[in-house]
Amino acid sequence: MKLNQYLSAAITCTTIFASNAFAEQIEDRRISQLTQYFTECHQAGKCNGSFLIAERGKVLFHQAMGANDHKVDSRLTIQSQFDIGSLTKQFTAMAIMILKKQGKLNFDHDITKYLPELSYRGMTIRHLLTHTSGLPNYMNYYTSLYRRGEVKADITNSAMVSVLAKEKIPAVFSPGQQWQYSNTGYVLLAEIISRVSNMSYDKFLHTHIFSPLKMDNTVLRSTALENQLDKRVYGFKSQLDNNRRAYDQIPFFEIYGDGGIYSTTEDMFKWDQAYYSETLVSIDLWSEATSPTVLLNGSIKEYGFGLALKPSIYGKKKISHGGHWRGFRTEFVRQIEDQHSIILLTNNGIDDSLEESVKAIEAILANDNYEPVQMPISKVLYPIFEEKGIKAGISFYQKAKVQQIAHYDFSEEELNSLGYFLLANNYTAEAVAVFKLNKDAYANSQNVYDSLSEGLIEANQQAEAIEVLTQALILFPEFKEAKERLVKLNAAESS
């Protein structure tokens, strides 16, 4: 080898080595940041669950943290099975796609071809898949029955279909006219899967999806089965006094298709990776399932078959969905261009924390700055108000707002929840003090006046409650709740 060739080869090797070393440094930094983020998130009482982050099939972070249920002595593991809520819709959509591949149905077939007892003519399978059917919400019907004490048997898919057939509940809008998230549509899809395949929805999913992908810890929920699952997770809500309140399944609720699956982060990662192969269906079918929905008026909705298609915060193509059922909150994100996978399964009933986590994780994966986790101010203030009193609580709040505003979540919702928790635990004066802090901080919100008036009434300070509600109506003349409460208070004062 000539000298210049030798030097060129040496430089190339050095460049490759340096490039690889730099890539490893970036990966190490991101892993460190992910670990730090989830540690802080858990310490703030938000991240109680199992979390998996990967890039191009390589797992960067996979950890479970927190409690398995409302009991003190149980801990989560990465094998824990969570109710994934509406992430189930992806599997229902895939089952329909497999039946399409088998030639047993067509996306544009009218649903009455398979559910002839229904009267929704002109409504297709595609409409159900894309939430453009206009179907009524079955939960409204059953909630009404439940409140009247008229639920006498388990609520099942077949029972729901019978209700729609017998009651002839009208559609909310014509198929394809609007986009409106519909759990009812996915329950009907599960029923179609069962009828077309001559298999139960459960068996079809296991035979055609879970088994081929070796998703061995993924099962359909049922009251009978879930009591036998030794890795099954239970939903709960954390209280400000550090107690946990059970917030788990409804025993008589046996509906599936829109939700109803228990799974693990590991199994959901197997499902995620199946997108990049043709193990289940062809690339063409995947492409159709992940194409935006076009409404009759030509407008575009960034939603496919059980999958949201809104781009990432960096404008890159993303497939995602969230799940929400009882104490369970879940997020599933697949960033196509960079092949990033984000799987978050939780059971402690915090509504917005996963959306915050997804933003932070996307930033970390992009080597960008991310918003640090904020400690809920309610969590910090409750023991101060309880143990040290009103003056100490207000003093801490005011100082923290000046000196540590970035460290705490001072949102209206946080103070409002603190006030109501104090009220529920008979700390009435403390609750009123918190509601007043909230009104001062968020004077342009109707809700803070409503909460303060409620606290004042509970404290037998009717005159001050009237003053607060009168002030609210000056600011918000159409404030219905304030009008109604003021009428009652004035009537009580004059009697």
- 351-395: pLDDT as tens digits: 888 999 999 999 999 999 999 999 999 999 999 999 999 999 999
Please name which of 86, 91, 83, 106 lies closest in space to residue 274, comparing C-alpha atoms.
Answer: 91
Examine the domain organization and report whether 100 and 247 are in the same domain: yes
Does some domain include residue 33? no
CA dist 329 and 309 (Å) reads 19
Does some domain include residue 180? yes
Number of H helices, E strands in the chain: 18, 16
Give the pTM. 0.90
Examine the domain organization and report whether 471 and 402 are in the same domain: yes
CA dist 17 and 445 (Å) reads 58
Does some domain include residue 45? no
Which CATH number belongs to the domain containing residue 470 in this structure? 1.25.40.10
SS3 160: helix
Does some domain include residue 47? no
Examine the domain organization and report whether 153 and 246 are in the same domain: yes
* The pLDDT value given to residue 228: 78
Regions of the chain with pLDDT less than 70: 1-23, 495
Does some domain include residue 284? yes
SS3 43: helix
Examine the domain organization and report whether 312 and 422 are in the same domain: no
Examine the domain organization and report whether 124 and 206 are in the same domain: yes
* The pLDDT value given to residue 251: 85
313, 341, 365: which is the final residue of a domain? Answer: 365
Does some domain include residue 58? no
* The pLDDT value given to residue 154: 87
Which CATH number belongs to the domain containing residue 106 in this structure? 3.40.710.10
* The pLDDT value given to residue 234: 95
> How many structural domains are present in the chain?
2
* The pLDDT value given to residue 104: 98
Q: How far is Cα of residue 433 from the mean position of the Cα atoms in its chain?
A: 32
Please name which of 351, 352, 331, 327 lies closest in space to residue 343, comparing C-alpha atoms.
Answer: 331
Does some domain include residue 381? yes
* The pLDDT value given to residue 396: 97
SS3 340: strand
Please name which of 66, 355, 122, 358 lies closest in space to residue 234, comparing C-alpha atoms.
Answer: 66
CA dist 99 and 473 (Å) reads 57
CB 185 within 8 A of CB 127: yes
Examine the domain organization and report whether 100 and 224 are in the same domain: yes
Examine the domain organization and report whether 316 and 380 are in the same domain: no
SS3 484: helix
Examine the domain organization and report whether 431 and 290 are in the same domain: no
Token duo for residue 47: 């991240």
314, 336, 365: which is the final residue of a domain? Answer: 365
Token duo for residue 115: 């559910």
The values of phi and psi at residue 303, to 5°, are: -150, 135
* The pLDDT value given to residue 19: 57
CB 422 within 8 A of CB 434: yes
365, 387, 414: which is the final residue of a domain? Answer: 365
Examine the domain organization and report whether 108 and 229 are in the same domain: yes
Examine the domain organization and report whether 360 and 413 are in the same domain: no
Which domain covers residue 456, as residue numbers?
375-494
Does some domain include residue 332? yes
Examine the domain organization and report whether 350 and 396 are in the same domain: no
Examine the domain organization and report whether 255 and 305 are in the same domain: yes
